[in-house]
């Protein structure tokens, strides 16, 4: 038997996603298509009921004559539409109709699910600050939100091209890697189709346990208006059986470095450049870009092109930019099957895999961009007007703001010599770190199991391993490199991962019927 939903006025969902980037967008699509299949099965039963001699009540209201199906989803779809407002449930209940009392856990795989996604941003956005007009994706368009999971999905990149009347043009382009601007437009197009499932401008502050008979069976997700000025903004509470964390990545900066008007992280590169133009100020004369990866190289090339009179100093500790290994055999590290291989491997093999194949993703640059930057540098040497400078084997040891710019202290890693470099703007392309869910879990964090290094233990289905005191599901979309490998923070497997999480949510065996729920940490 499944758990009866606590009826205390809190909107209830089978699944709540925190964050609405590409990972949870792919999950929302998977849930939507799953629900469409469930609705289709209801339709098939409606059509076959006449042949089976069932009463007309099966149609619409979906009341079954068979006693063992009295608690099924189909029997309650009509009732849920009428009663959801009384129960304080969200709009996802209309047409969704998740049964409170299915006969067994396996039947959940055929039921529709209710879902809600909470996003801090006012609208969908994915790395907007790096939407450089000529930058291309580093992953094939076939690794979109759906194709590896469902090649016939209406949410595919190809269907997006068809709807934009560019399919033939894209085919003629003979390229697997679309412009980043175009792929972002595809993501926005898909997100717009699911806007009814998303509450934007909602900043999740905490996830509270809801216990039944001493077991955490549900979670109350507490959100406030994003950017609220009040120290105690109004809270909105949503309840779920499962919570999926898709909170993305956070900019990583060297110790002591703080973002300001003259010290940037590359995450905000394009809007910051646009702001300079909008302010009408004199164009910068010198930039310092710190970093050795794709983003650093892109920022260097972009600033060099965007400001034709400015010098651009690229500072990195390597001897030169390292090319990304995108050869076919190495690329298999991004395959769905590679996740299984990595997950099952012992710790020492995991470490070796990350070391062997780190050059597919970490601190590496597309060879075409490396060639382009070298061509520019050589051309300037020939012409005697060098603006592009590569400071290799060098690291930035300090950054201070001056009256009219920034001052970077650099140190040669080969000689130890230090120098001072004055510039108008410093750009740190120093990567990202996963946003840990621990800060949101509060007292729930102590129920999450850890490995020997203190990292969250995560099951193969991306569910956080917990003590037996937790019955509901906590899932991670990201932050699982230590368990699932390199693809944890990449687009390559979002479609397959969403299917695996959805399958886990629908297949998990519910606990026994509860008594009155107890909400821990709730005020009132």
The C-alpha atoms of residue 68 and residue 72 are separated, in whole angstroms, by: 8
Nearest CA to 264 out of 425, 395, 499 is that of 425
Reported as half-sphere exposure (CB side, CA atoms, 13 A), residue 185 has a value of 14
Give yes or no for residue 56 having a pLDDT over 50: no
Domain boundary among 378, 402, 432: 432
In angstroms, the CA 298 to CA 320 distance is 15
Q: Comparing C-alpha atoms, which of 18, 124, 145 is closest to residue 435?
A: 18
Q: Which residues pair with 425 in a beta bridge?
A: 287
Least-confidence region, from 104-118, 451-465, 481-495 = 104-118
Percentage of the chain exceeding pLDDT 70: 82
How big is the chain by its Cα radius of gyration, in Å? 26
CATH number of the domain enclosing 229: 3.50.50.60
Tokens of 95: 């047409």
pLDDT at residue 78 is higher than 50:
no
- Domain-located, residue 103: no
State residue 328 phi and psi, 5-degree precision: -60, -45
Final residue of a domain: which of 369, 398, 432? 432
pLDDT, mean of residues 363-391:
97
Is residue 379 domain-shared with residue 507, that is, in the same domain? no
The stretch 256-277 carries a mean pLDDT of 96
Same structural domain, 414 and 272: yes
- Report pLDDT for 470: 97
Question: Are the C-beta atoms of residues 504 and 462 closer than 8 Å to each other?
Answer: yes
**Pairing of β 418-423 and β 405-412:** antiparallel
261 token code pair = 């008007």
For residue 346, tell me if it sits in a domain: no
Q: Which residues contact 426 (CB under 8 A, 6 or more apart)?
A: 262, 263, 264, 287, 288, 289, 290, 399, 406, 408
284 shares a domain with 239: no
Please say whether the beta carbons of 309 and 379 come within 8 A.
no
**In this model, does residue 40 exceed pLDDT 60?**
yes
Q: Is residue 399 part of a domain?
A: yes
Region of poorest pLDDT, from 105-114, 231-240, 410-419, 479-488 = 105-114
In a domain, 403, yes or no: yes
* CB of 232 closer than 8 Å to CB of 224: no
Do residues 314 and 386 both lie within one domain? yes
* pLDDT of 353: 95
What pTM, to 2 d.p., does this model score?
0.84
Task: Outline where 59-111 has alpha helix (H).
Answer: 73-83
pLDDT tens profile 484-502: 999 998 999 999 999 999 9
CA distance 174 to 416: 48
Tell me whether residue 506 is in a domain.
yes
Residue 424's Cα: distance from chain center in Å? 34
DSSP 68: G
Residue 63 scores a pLDDT above 70: no
pLDDT of residue 82 exceeding 80, the answer is no
Q: Where are the alpha helices (DSSP H) in 206-293?
A: 269-279
Residues 476 and 488 in one domain: yes
Question: How confident is the model at residue 355, as a pLDDT?
Answer: 93
Residues 386, 489, single domain; the answer is no
Report the pLDDT value the prediction gives residue 45, as an integer from 0 to 100. Answer: 60
> Residue 170 region, left (φ>0) first, then alpha (ψ -120 to 50), else beta?
alpha
C-alpha count within 13 angstroms, C-beta hemisphere, residue 389? 16
Clarify whether residues 257 and 403 are in a common domain.
yes
Higher pLDDT, 500 or 7: 500
How much is the pLDDT for 489?
Answer: 87
440 and 505 co-located in one domain: yes
Q: Is the predicted pLDDT of residue 1 greater than 60, yes or no? A: no
* Residue 226 placed within a domain: yes
Residue 103 predicted with pLDDT over 50: no
Asked if the structure places residue 479 within a domain, the reply is yes
Task: Convert 319-350 to b/e letters by CB count within 10 Å (16 or more is b).
Answer: eebbebbbeeeebebbebebbeebeeeeeeeb
Do 486 and 446 lie in one domain? The reply is: yes
Confidence at residue 4, expressed as pLDDT on a 0 to 100 scale = 54
Mean pLDDT, residues 232-256 taken together: 95
Last residue within a domain, chosen from 432, 455, 486: 432
Q: Which of 324, 357, 326, 325 is nearest to 341 (CA)?
A: 357
**pLDDT in the model for residue 465:** 97
As a whole number of Å, the end-to-end CA separation of the chain is 31
Across 508-517, average pLDDT = 48
Number of domains in the chain: 2
Report the distance separating Cα 137 and Cα 143, nearest Å: 11
Q: Is residue 127 part of a domain?
A: no
381 and 320 within one domain:
yes
Per the structure, the complete domain to which residue 118 belongs is given by 12-26+112-122+195-248+435-516
Same domain, 379 and 242: no
pLDDT tens for each residue of 139-197:
999 999 999 999 999 999 999 999 999 999 999 999 999 999 999 999 999 999 999 99
In a shared domain, residues 225 and 242: yes
Backbone angles phi, psi at 261, to 5 degrees: -65, -25
- Measured between alpha carbons, how far is 491 from 139 in angstroms, rounded to an integer? 8
Mean pLDDT, the chain, whole residue set? 86
The Cα 377–Cα 300 span in angstroms is 12
């Amino acid at each position: 038997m499944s758990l009866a939903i606590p009826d205390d006025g809190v909107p209830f969902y089978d699944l709540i996603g925190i964050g609405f980037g590409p990972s949870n967008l792919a999950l929302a699509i998977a849930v939507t298509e799953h629900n469409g299949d469930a609705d289709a099965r209801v339709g098939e039963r409606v059509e076959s009921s006449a042949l089976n001699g069932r009463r007309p009540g099966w149609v619409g209201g979906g009341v079954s004559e068979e006693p063992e199906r009295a608690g099924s989803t189909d029997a309650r779809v009509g009732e849920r539409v009428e009663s959801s407002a009384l129960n304080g449930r969200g709009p996802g209940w209309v047409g969704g109709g998740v049964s409170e009392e299915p006969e067994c856990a396996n039947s959940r795989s055929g039921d529709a699910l209710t879902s809600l996604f909470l996003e801090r941003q006012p609208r969908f956005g994915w790395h907007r600050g790096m939407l450089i007009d000529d930058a291309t994706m580093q992953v094939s368009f076939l690794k979109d939100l759906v194709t590896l999971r469902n090649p016939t999905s209406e949410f595919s990149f190809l269907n997006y091209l068809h709807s934009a009347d560019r399919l033939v043009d894209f085919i003629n382009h003979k390229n697997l890697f679309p412009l980043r601007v175009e792929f972002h437009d595809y993501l926005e197009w898909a997100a717009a189709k699911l806007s009814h499932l998303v509450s934007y401008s909602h900043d999740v502050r905490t996830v509270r346990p809801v216990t039944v008979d001493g077991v955490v069976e549900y979670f109350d997700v507490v959100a406030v208006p994003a950017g609220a000025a009040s120290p105690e903004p109004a809270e909105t509470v949503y309840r779920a059986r499962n919570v999926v964390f898709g909170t993305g990545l956070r900019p990583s900066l060297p110790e002591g470095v703080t973002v300001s008007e003259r010290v940037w992280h590359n995450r905000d590169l394009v809007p910051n450049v646009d702001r300079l133009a909008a302010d009408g100020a004199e164009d910068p004369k010198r930039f310092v870009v710190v970093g050795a990866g794709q983003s650093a190289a892109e920022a260097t090339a972009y600033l060099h092109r965007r400001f034709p009179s400015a010098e651009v100093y690229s500072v990195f500790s390597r001897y030169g930019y390292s090319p990304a290994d995108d050869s076919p055999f190495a690329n298999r590290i991004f395959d769905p099957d590679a996740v299984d291989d990595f997950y099952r491997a012992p710790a020492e093999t995991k470490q070796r895999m990350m070391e062997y194949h780190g050059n597919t993703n970490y601190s590496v640059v597309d060879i075409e961009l490396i060639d382009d930057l070298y061509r520019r540098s050589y051309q300037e040497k020939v012409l005697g007007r060098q603006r592009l400078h590569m400071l290799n084997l060098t690291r930035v040891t300090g950054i201070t703001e001056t009256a009219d710019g920034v001052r970077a202290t650099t140190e040669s890693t080969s000689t130890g010599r230090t120098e001072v470099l004055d510039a108008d703007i410093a750009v740190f392309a120093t990567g990202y770190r996963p946003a840990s869910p621990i800060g949101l879990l509060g007292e729930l964090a102590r129920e999450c199991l850890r490995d020997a290094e203190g990292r969250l233990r995560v099951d193969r289905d991306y569910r956080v391993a917990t003590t037996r005191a937790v019955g509901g599901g906590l899932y991670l979309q990201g932050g699982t490199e230590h368990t699932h490998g390199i693809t944890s923070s990449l687009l390559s497997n979002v479609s397959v991962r969403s299917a695996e999480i959805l399958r886990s949510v629908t297949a998990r065996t519910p606990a026994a019927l509860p008594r009155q729920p107890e909400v821990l940490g709730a005020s009132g």
